[in-house]
Structure 1
Amino acid sequence: MGTRASIQLQDSEIREIQAETGFSHNQIVRLYSRFANLDKSRNGSLSRADFLRIPELAINPLGDRLVQSFFQENTDINFRQFMQVLSRFRPIKANPEKNKLNTREEKLKFAFKMYDLDGDELISKNELLTILHMMVGTNISEEQLGSIADRTISEVDDDKDNCISFQEFVKAMERVDVEQKMSIRFLH
């Protein structure tokens, strides 16, 4: 890809990204254009600040959490990493084996990480409350939020450790159409 965002993608890079993510050639080219527009420093990578300039994320109450999901560490991300994260939001096709990044399990892992603020592989009541606050702001009282968090933990926490593990999360989400709810329609 080179160090400048203005450099065009090579066909071989597009084919590799297609195989890895399941995006079409045209989708990759269009998303690269969007990536390049976000890359204000023109260094071929995006920072957290670049993401926070996206209007849809700026108005989303979970925008900060979504942006954090793109970054495994405190480093900027390149186009390929950008596409890997986006691939988790593609609708799952009849043959999901083509894209191992876009399975029900990967979508559930991503959703779980949105709640697991400290990365300890458990969702605590405090983490649940923090996310609920992000989602509803001041529209619900502290007492109501506490009640929702308590009820959620008690209904999902099979091993009674007052936290939700990934396995418990998966079980709780069995009847939820995660494939539909965590899909974004990308450019054709």
Structure 2
Amino acid sequence: MGNVPSMLTQYDIEEVQEHCHYLFSQQEIVALYKRFCQLDRNSNGFIAADEFLSIPEFSLNPLSQRLLKMVDGLNFKDFVAFLSAFSPLATPHQKMELIFKVYDIDSKGRVTFSDLIEVLRDFTGSFMSDKQREQVLSRLLEEAGYTRNSSLLLDDFIKILGKSGMKMEVEVPVD
């Protein structure tokens, strides 16, 4: 499924479902395919960063530049796999894995204090000073038993942020 065929077969749908751990129904896969084809303006079977930015909800997200690094050049199967973390059926662990990847700026499998500061800066903009950000993060890490010098692995990250109760879901409109 590198290049996007003009139409999905039942086999394609089932293959994509398996690839995304059955977090989307067949109807949702078809709806996502239609959306993918709309976004793939070049019809080359991949969505480029600028095509993702045409999605208002995506372009307005304070983390859109970080997300772009993860989604630039996705084919349909990988597009659905990326979106599967936003499925209501995705486990909290699956959702946290995606968030961890967003925070792991250098993709080394660990999140540092400076990574956390950068992401918090993206979220808060000029509403918080660097000093305030550092104080908030230092306190958060300290309460969880970590220091500014700690490098957080996925399990550590989940321990600290996983109980926040954040909702990360997208509804797939089905015709």
Query: Is this a same-fold pair by TM over 0.5?
Result: yes
Spell out, residue by residue over 1:23-72, the C-alpha distance to the aligned partner (whole angstroms, 9 max, x if none). 1222111111111111111111111221122111111111122222335x
Is the Cα contact below 8 Å between 2:113 and 2:148 reproduced in 1?
no
Asked whether the 8 Å contact 1:157–1:163 carries over to 2, the reply is no
Aligned positions, number:
172
Q: How does 1:100-119 map to 2 (within 5 A)?
A: 102-119=90-107
Gaps of 5+ in 1: 93-101
Shift of 1:157: 4.6
Equivalent runs, 1:90-169 vs 2, <5 Å? 90-92=87-89, 102-158=90-146, 161-169=149-157
Task: Quote the offset at 1:82 in angstroms.
Answer: 0.5
User: Between Structure 1 and Structure 2, which shows a larger proportion of strand residues?
Assistant: 1
The 5 A counterparts of 1:21-36 are 21=20, 22=22, 23-36=24-37
Q: Deviations over 1:69-98 (max 9, x none)?
A: 335xxxx21101101111111012xxxxxx
Q: Which runs of 4+ in 1 moved over 6 A?
A: none
CA, structure 1 residues 176+153, in 2 after alignment: closer, same or farther (shift >3 Å)? Answer: closer
| Alpha-carbon spacing, 1:122–1:20, altered in 2? closer, same or farther (3 Å) | closer
> 1:162 is matched by which residue type in structure 2?
S
Structure 2, gaps ≥5 residues long: none
Identity of matched residues, %: 31
CA RMSD of aligned residues (A): 2.2
Per-residue Cα deviation, 1:86-112 (whole angstroms, up to 9, x for no partner): 1111012xxxxxxxxx33322211111
